[in-house]
Chains A and B, each alone.
Chain A
Amino acid sequence: MKKVASEEKLELTISCILIVGVIASVAMEAIGILGYYNSNGNLNIIFRPEFALQGADFFTYSGNAFFQVMNGGWTPLQILSLGIIVLMMTPYVRVAASVIYFGLVRNPKYLIITLFVLIILTASLLVH
């Protein structure tokens, strides 16, 4: 019985992570689009390298974007980028939460499985 109850806890946590992540990112993107229109007077999409998310690995890029916004030096484009970052971080965080959960309940099988997923995703996000 105890095992079932604690698994429910994991499911509730995952559900929370997913919903908060999606709402936060969609809200940021909506604000970013409005800000973009306000400062540019149009909503044209530009396919130039500076409009692509790139330049560093995902974690460094995310850290830089986050600190820039926190320090007040943000632009609508950075808010849009941050929205995409939050969106990409959402499933990543739910895998990390699952690793912690299976570690805490001492389920070695699923600790290894979720850790494998987390390692592959981390490695893939570190490439640039």
Chain B
Amino acid sequence: MLTVLVISAMAGLLGALTGLGGGSIMIPVLVGFGVPVKYAIAASMVTIIATSSGSAASYVKERITNVKAAFYLEMFTIIGAIIGATITALIEPRLLYFLFAGFLLTSFYGLSGHLKEEFPKDVKQDRMSKWLELQGSYYDQAAGKQVDYKMTNARLGGLGMMVAGLAAGMLGIGAGAFKVSIHELILKMPSKVSTTTSNFIIGITALAGASVYFASGLLFVGLAAPMAVGTTIGAVAGGRILNRFPNRIIRYLFLVIVFALIIQMIYKGVTLP
């Protein structure tokens, strides 16, 4: 448990620094230590509730998170997560190693992200988004102004979130980068609203996935408990020191970590007896 606690704290720290999230790092590392992949996924799913809820609490209080958009999108992510977790509980473990490696490969896409406009302008709201009251306003400290925004494409956004929920439930991760892309590219949320709303949704998505792992008997308390304590400590520390690191170092760190994790998961999948 002590080993899990220490590596979870490191994973939480690196997850917060690189934006990968604790789960994406934690699962391959645990697998490297010989933990069966399904147990690692199930425990990670519960751990995510802690890190997501912890940081979501302050963003909701600061009124950056759009809670209405979150409630609407949660309808889709929970269904995706339940289906995803059910698939994981049933399929051959070997497939999960390769799926995880595939998911990590897609996270390289995140490096090229965030080049787009931070505050989408002239968004023409569709009828459904209007009906769902998908709009809001928050004070942006960096820009020093009040930002008003409107969302659109509620239907397509919901569908995209179901896919994000499926990936999250299946791999025991938050799939935050995927959710943020849907929020920004389809729903046209401003960046800060997008990341904080994604964080808020991750807690519910993780609970939906965790409920399936609970029912499947894959949730081991001795694994999940030190992971939750470790990643929470690591994420809090990571959030505090994030601004002290130059972006270039963070990018290199991200590349090295993701590359190592991909190799590790493929190796495990190939050598699995």
Q: Which residues of A contact B (CB under 8 A)?
A: 7-8, 10-12, 14-16, 18-19, 21-22, 25-26, 29-30, 32-33, 36-37, 43-47, 49, 51-54, 57-58, 77, 80-81, 83-84, 87-88, 90-92, 94-95, 98, 109-110, 113-114, 116-117, 120-121, 124-125, 127-128
Interchain CB contact (< 8 A) of B75 among A16, A44, A90, A116: A116
Complex Cα distance, B1 from A14, in Å, reads 31
Q: Which residues of A contact B182 (CB under 8 A)?
A: none
* Beta-carbon contact of B68 and A91 below 8 Å: no
* Beta-carbon contact of B58 and A15 below 8 Å: yes
Please give the distance in Å from B254's CB to the nearest CB on chain A: 26
* Beta-carbon contact of A29 and B78 below 8 Å: no
Interchain CB contact (< 8 A) of B226 among A33, A57, A92: A33
Interface membership of B54, Cβ < 8 A = yes
Complex Cα distance, B36 from A52, in Å, reads 14
Interface membership of B250, Cβ < 8 A = no
Q: Which residues of B contact A (CB under 8 A)?
A: 1-2, 4-5, 36, 39, 46, 49-50, 53-54, 56-58, 60-61, 63, 65, 67-68, 71-72, 74-75, 78-79, 82, 131-133, 203-204, 206-208, 210-212, 214-215, 217-226, 228-229, 232
Please give the distance in Å from B132's CB to the nearest CB on chain A: 7
Interchain CB contact (< 8 A) of B63 among A11, A22, A98: A11
* Beta-carbon contact of A15 and B228 below 8 Å: no
Complex Cα distance, B50 from A29, in Å, reads 12
A-B contact pairs, 30 of them (CB 8 A): A11-B60, A14-B60, A15-B61, A18-B56, A26-B50, A26-B232, A29-B226, A29-B228, A32-B225, A36-B222, A43-B2, A45-B1, A47-B36, A47-B223, A51-B222, A52-B217, A52-B220, A53-B221, A54-B215, A54-B219, A80-B221, A84-B225, A87-B46, A88-B207, A90-B49, A95-B204, A117-B71, A117-B74, A121-B204, A124-B82
Complex Cα distance, B219 from A98, in Å, reads 28
Please give the distance in Å from A53's CB to the nearest CB on chain B: 5
* Beta-carbon contact of A121 and B54 below 8 Å: no
Please give the distance in Å from A48's CB to the nearest CB on chain B: 9
* Beta-carbon contact of A26 and B229 below 8 Å: yes
* Beta-carbon contact of A33 and B225 below 8 Å: yes
- A98's nearest neighbour on chain B, judged by CB, is B71
Q: Which residues of B contact A52 (CB under 8 A)?
A: 217-221
Q: Which residues of A contact B49 (CB under 8 A)?
A: 87-88, 90-91
Q: Which residues of A contact B2 (CB under 8 A)?
A: 43
A interface, over-half SS: helix
Q: Which residues of A contact B58 (CB under 8 A)?
A: 15
Answer whether A121 and B5 are a contact pair too, CB < 8 Å, given A22-B232, A47-B39, A53-B219: no
* Beta-carbon contact of B5 and A33 below 8 Å: yes
Q: Which residues of B contact A46 (CB under 8 A)?
A: 222
- A8's nearest neighbour on chain B, judged by CB, is B63
Interface centre among B71, B206, B222, B229 (most CB of A within 10 A): B222
- Enumerate the 8 nearest inter-chain pairs by beta-carbon distance, A residue then B residue, closest first: A43-B1, A18-B57, A54-B217, A45-B222, A15-B61, A124-B211, A19-B57, A29-B225
> A29-B228, A121-B204 given. 4 additional CB < 8 A pairs?
A18-B203, A52-B217, A88-B207, A120-B78
Complex Cα distance, B227 from A32, in Å, reads 13
- B211's nearest neighbour on chain A, judged by CB, is A124
Complex Cα distance, B61 from A44, in Å, reads 39
- B131's nearest neighbour on chain A, judged by CB, is A109
Q: Which residues of A contact B61 (CB under 8 A)?
A: 11-12, 15
Answer whether A49 and B1 are a contact pair too, CB < 8 Å, given A109-B131, A113-B72: no
Complex Cα distance, B232 from A33, in Å, reads 15
- A120's nearest neighbour on chain B, judged by CB, is B78
